[in-house]
Structure 1
Amino acid sequence: MPIKIPKLLPAREILEEENIFIMDETRANTQDIRPLNIIILNLMPEKERTEAQVLRLLGNTPLQVNISFLQMATHQSKTTSQLHLDQFYTTFSNIKHRKFDGMIVTGAPVEMLAFEEVDYWEELTEIMNWSTDNVTSTLHICWGAQAALYHHFGIGKFELPRKCSGVFSHIVQDRSEKLLRGFDDEFYAPHSRYTDVDQRKINEHKEIKLLSYSEEAGAFIMSANNGKQIMITGHLEYDASTLSEEYSRDRHRGLDIHLPEHYFPKNDPNRQPLNRWRSHAHLLFSNWLNYYVYQETPYEWE
């Protein structure tokens, strides 16, 4: 089944070229089915790219999904046109009276700031508080995961000696968890961040389960015991070229940045990197939509 997105959303053309099943409101309204309503809080600067990356993964399941995009009212985007935001995004004041089956909170390039120094932190905490009663399950990615760990569970972040950038091997810590159903014993995922969370504190916390980790990149996938919050510290949604483009961008800015690890073939930045995480990215999003959203959400919200 497809995802339903706005007819003029730029990501639509990208997804159609990749044979992702999508539909607009005209066709969706003719189907007698209860679709899942997913709200995506997109905190990334290049919002159109992130839209395509996340929608690609949501569009590969047997469920019909209605997508809405949310932006922060207390933050002015510098890299996405206001026309795009006005046409495809809404703000929290317009949706806080509604119930959603699922929510996705993306990463954001603010990890070097203390959480309270982020200009939209107060608004974000209001949204995260609202989500506990009005969203069946929320998927938090990268900085979004760190924000959830800090706000909901009191686990902070710390600065790394150098940026964690590359594609790392991970193992499954808890094979009984439905989120990792079908995962290989070892799988790969990209990371791109300057901060980390204390894996020991996560293991000791009674309300969180560590589901997967990397010997090199640390804690990766975590779940609240009730499945209301899923936290992922990496970027399974990334395209094959994303880390390469970030590396080129940082070098152009004159940053002291190292080559992404285990990424370029033979560590040659002139060679095209391979996507070694695509199947597990699709599997994780499919498992989340099925087991944590579809199987848990009421047919009619009271």
Structure 2
Amino acid sequence: MTEQQLTIGSPHSQDYSYLAHGENGLPFQTAEHFTSPTGAAISLRHAVARGKPRAAIQINHGLAEHSARYIGFAKRLAAAGFHVYAHDHRGHGETTAPDAPRGMFSVRGGAAKVLADVAAVNTHIHRVHSDLPIVIFGHSMGGLITLSHILRHPETVDAAAIWNANFSAGAAGRLAQLILKAERMLLGSDVPSHILPKLTFRAWGRGIPNRRTDFDWLSRDPTEVDAYIADSHCGWDASVGMWLDVFDFVFYGARDGNFAKVRRDMPLHLVGGEKDPATDNGKAVAALVQRMQAMGFRNVTERIYPETRHESLNEINRDAITDDFIAWLNKIVEQSPRYPR
């Protein structure tokens, strides 16, 4: 695995020949850092498609985790002919920024900076693969970010997958915002929230019958749960400021008026778990599907997988779930005018 320094907009940013190497069997053949317009040093991983590339997939990970957790998913997608790009959001993993220690997106304007970083990664992928369709994927918080990106920049992707994301916060979400704003006044925005973890991660853990750990709400696979707990880049408490930014994403996606720019035939793939407490057992995912269909979206695929919890990609039936997704990808990318023929 190699490390490259790349600044978007620099003369070197037009030379991507180093991305062609790496047929070494590793799921992520390259790891690079480039400077986003926000000033963040973005850690970006790339899995090279095997055979003739069919499309490029841009992954947005969830809260309190990182892109390297998607290695297994990337390996499957690459084997099916898809380039895969996954970066660490600011405040997560190996991405660094002067204004974003772990657990914070930024001292101020965090949501906007996260989206600017996502747009920079998307621009990077377009430069490397100008001849391929681009599909953007997001899990959980990454799903919130993914939808926020396509609502603002629908022309930058051919399709989108929004998994395990909850845009149905409603009155409870507004109350959480008020609690967070009170915490910000009393404690500041750069300290972990004392209350939100109790209302989210910990409450979700307590809701799992016969739980073995507090993170059993993630998956029925104990090996995956243990790996998450052992990972120092996972499971930490987000700051007050980061939680407020997350709710900005939630409520932006909750407003129907923000969907005006998105073409109604864009392929959309929404996944939820029937036993996922973070999405009200998949009901929030179904509610988003219903909203989109009511707005005239006519190419929406919905999958609520029985018995599954929050992390579909780490569930005991993850292979079947990934098979379904690859079948959807193969179908929709062939409809794109940029599909290589």
Q: What is the TM-score when the length of structure 1 is the normalising length?
A: 0.44
Structure richer in strand, relative to its length:
1
Higher helix share: 2
